Structure 1
Amino acid sequence: MNHEHAFVCGNPALDFAATLRARRTLRFEMFSTPDRLDAWFVESGLVDTVVPADDDDVEHAKALREAIYALVTARRLERQYDEAALDILNLAASKTPATPQLTPTGRSTEATAQQALSSLARCVVELLSGPDVPLLKECENPECTRIYVDRSRGTRRQWCGMESCGNRFKAAAYRARKKNAPSTASG
């Protein structure tokens, strides 16, 4: 399967929150159509198959995503939770989640968008009430707004992912050093 979405945050709910990219600048929307939402659910591994979403599902997903981002950011910065964001999250978490089933060939999870969103909301509840809160970081690439769980040794990770932001940032720093290096040619 060709993955069109990135999963570098260390938690499905954080990867979900990152589907609105470059929030401070370009604001690139990953859920432009219902089939993009469906693809995210399957590519994330949250479900194996999904009942096709509609436009209302996309709007609910975006609302939940923004609530997740607001709550994770508040927790990371040790601020109060936004009440409206809490209401959106808790309502989604109260719905029936995606339920895995045992089949003759193994585990299979089929879900509606609402069930998948409920599973994500429950994931946020666990994340923000659990031991990984001190490990939440925002990518140091100023263009990127992904929040990730830093499980690196010494928690010194700087970027959401080396293959995306890390390599880009390192290449730009290298070019800047090369440009500003004193010339060795004598004049």
Structure 2
Amino acid sequence: MNLNHVFVCGNPALDFAATLRARRSTRFEMFATPDRLDAWYLESGIVDTVLPGDESDVEQATIVREAIYELVTARRLGEEFDEEALDVLNEAARRAPATPQLTPSGRRTEATPEQALSTVARHAVELLSGPDVPLMKECGNPECTRVYIDRSRGMRRQWCGMDSCGNKIKAAAYRARKRTAPAAAAH
């Protein structure tokens, strides 16, 4: 069941933080129901199966997501970490993570919602303490608030993804140029 979750950020913790879309304007919540949270865990590849979550799992995931976003923003801007956000993230990371198992058909990871959330929190800890910190950038689309890892040559990537934001911005710029082109050029 694909619910239009997008994974363009280059790290599961950043994709998780991006599930509250357009934070500065319309704010669209991707975790509106437990099913949508469960779907995110599956679509992200963090787990292969997850026990069905409930409203309390959504509430906890939302709290951890906001802590991750706050910490990522602070790190990206070179600011101090908020102690409360640190406590929330570290508490989630201390819980048992999803543990992969080897089966006759290969690797399989089954988890509870709490284990899946702990796994996301651990990704955030690794990201925020690791070598990719200088590569974190916010999408150039003013409506988008996704932070992504820019691994492009010369760190010249401007958008979280071409499909999600880049094409929209380029098309809007093209339309604006066409509108403002001198009428004489049309003759």
Which TM-score bucket, shorter chain as reference?
over 0.9
User: Match of 2:12?
Assistant: 12
How far the C-alpha of 1:184 sits from its partner, in A, is 2.2
> Could you tell me which residue of structure 2 aligns to residue 83 of structure 1?
83
Q: Shift in Å at residue 2 of structure 1?
A: 3.4
Matches within 5 A, 1:27-176: 27-176=27-176
Amino acid at match of 1:145: T
TM-superposed CA distance for 1:186, in Å, is 8.6
Number of equivalent positions: 187
Q: Would the alpha carbon gap of residues 43 and 185 (structure 1) be closer, same or farther in structure 2, given more than 3 Å must change?
A: closer
Give how far 1:152 is off.
0.5
Distance 2:63 2:27 in 1: 15
Distance 1:136 1:99 in 2: 28
How far apart, CA to CA, are the structure 1 residues paired with 2:143 and 2:124? 24
**1:58-94 Cα shifts (integer Å, max 9, x gaps):** 0000000000000000000000101110000000000
Q: Residue 180 of structure 1 corresponds to which residue in structure 2?
A: 180
Over the aligned positions, Cα root-mean-square deviation in angstroms equals 1.3
3-state SS of paired residue (1:109)? strand
Which amino acid is 2:97 matched to? P
Q: 1:115 to 1:186 in 2, by over 3 A?
A: closer
SS where residue 8 of structure 1 aligns? coil
Deviation of 1:97 (Å): 0.3
Q: Secondary structure at the match of 2:107?
A: strand
Distance 2:186 2:131 in 1: 58
d(CA) in 2 for partners of 1:71, 1:151: 21
Shift of 1:3: 5.2
Runs of 4+ in 1 over 4 A off after TM superposition: none
> TM-score by structure 2 length?
0.97
Q: When the two structures are superposed, what TM-score results if normalisation uses the length of structure 1?
A: 0.97
Structure 2: state its 5+ residue gaps: none
Task: Name the % identity.
Answer: 73
Cα contact 2:10–2:149 (8 A) shared by 1: yes
What displacement does 1:183 show?
1.3
**Residue 53 of structure 1: SS of its match in structure 2?**
coil
